[in-house]
Chains A and B, each alone.
Chain A
């Protein structure tokens, strides 16, 4: 699948106050990187997971569980599917990625660093004073981050706005919003679900990291969101269900979404919280707790 990197004009009109990234060049000088193969992506996902463990362990806080569950989805997006350019983060024709579940910032930062938006060394500054890597995703702080999130439920609405802007401007970029399944308990998500279908934004894709856990327990115990697929279908979306750790299925779903016209697509990705580290998997303790030094060592060994 080719990742086309057309040269675009800088989005000169973009609100300068919200553009913390270095000035984009009128014509990008970035190398055109080839999309990674599935095998290469498997390695990359493992690399992101190692970063997540190291970053949160070094910070002594953060949300490793929901970052690890999304690692394969984020890998497929940033290293194969998305049209983006690390050397030109504000490129007007880039695809937009919104991390609506903003507490999973470590997985986004890991992907951005590996994609070249900032040095990999910077990852371990996560959550420190003066770091560009805030506790939750922050558009004013980090190159490549599109939206400030962390208060759940807001990303999909912003995605609609970006998708409508593309339509108004005749641009062909697409907008991808990653939500948590617990996040779908927020009412605003369903306001947005209704509006996206009403406005027929078929350049908008929601991806739900269905790891089935939230801070207080299993989602079906805390606030049952099932049947998730029927809810989205009833709201007028094209619904695709996949294994969110199968890179082939993730790419297949993203490709399928491109062919859907007249309605938005939601990909419900079944995942495991803490995926990739045996003692973190399905372990609620690691929703919002960092690994200890000992746990870090054991986790990194598993991820070699």
Chain B
């Protein structure tokens, strides 16, 4: 079922159009990146419900809040770096605190943005959004999960941050998959260790599981699309049933998926853990594959890390 697929941002654009047809309360904003975020598809079909706010993200978040306070279901999109670091106080005061019905869907998350370099690598966004009380934070792993997450966000009152990716990625879910907010998905069963991953890293973990199985390590692969509220039960089950957890994410070590999982593990069922992420540094220009490789965010990197982790058990 794995194919070369489509990017999660492509899936977003198509899903928005479908939602727009069903629900006339949906209004979409962008900050001069509608061709890249794919909100342009919505703009073409519903020009009266689309507002390009220009290169002014702070203002866009305020407009989003005002529309939501007047009963609209608002999607606001730009690159993840600008949707987070550029307008954090605006999101905090205008959207998070009053729990406005605004869905911030940000494309170009992480370092798989590639050649644009540090200024365009969102590696802090999950920490920033994860720390806002009441925000739902979602990182879909493929196009199908993206469509599901966007539909659920539209139907669920309150603020969302959904992080999408630039590159085309394999489709790992069947059309029948139903995304459930706050629920992890076990992609592959196993009892020797668990990888908990989100976004593009889920597919890489699945690829890593095969050679590990040949070497006698049955790896459980858990897709954790919702970072907040996180699925504590799935984490506790993974800890108690497999005894070791590796977290893999395209984000800084601090404040992302790994931190959230480690908190649950420490509180409920301590087991050996390790983390594949970006280690307290900024990241340069390069091909997405090269950058991911630098940080061992590859199937091979996961495979090696799992072997080392399993060796630490007992």
Contact = CB atoms under 8 A, between A and B. Distances in A.
Interface stretch (B47-55, B185-193, B209-217, B256-264): B47-55
What does DSSP make chain A's interface, helix, strand, loop or mixed?
helix
Interface centre among A16, A17, A156 (most CB of B within 10 A): A17
Interface in B61-120: 61-72, 74, 89-90, 92-94, 97-101
Interface residues of B, number: 37
A195 B64 CA distance: 13
B171 to A, nearest CB: 34
B62 A15 contact: no
B71 A13 contact: yes
Interface string A63-84: 0000000000000000000000
B59 A159 contact: no
Given A18-B100, A154-B90, A191 B71 contact: no
A158 interface: yes
Interface stretch (A31-39, A118-126, A165-173): A165-173
Contacts of A188: 56, 58-59, 62, 90
Contacts of A169: 70-71
Given A15-B71, A15-B157, A156-B62, A191 B56 contact: yes
Contacts of B90: 154, 157, 188
B88 to A, nearest CB: 11
Contact of B56 (A139, A151, A164, A194): A194
Contact of B54 (A140, A157, A194): A194
Contact of B66 (A150, A164, A198): A164
Contacts of A279: none
Contacts of A18: 68-69, 98-101
A160 B27 CA distance: 14
B158 interface: yes
Contacts of B56: 188, 191, 194-195
A11 interface: yes
Contacts of A159: 66
B96 to A, nearest CB: 10
Nearest to B96: A148
Interface string A140-160: 100000111111011111111
6 closest Cβ pairs, A-B complex = A161-B66, A157-B62, A165-B70, A191-B59, A191-B56, A17-B99
Given A14-B71, A17-B158, A158-B65, 11 more contacts: A151-B92, A154-B58, A161-B62, A161-B65, A163-B66, A164-B27, A164-B51, A165-B70, A168-B48, A194-B56, A198-B54
Interface of A: 11, 13-18, 92, 138-140, 146-151, 153-166, 168-169, 187-188, 191-192, 194-195, 198-199
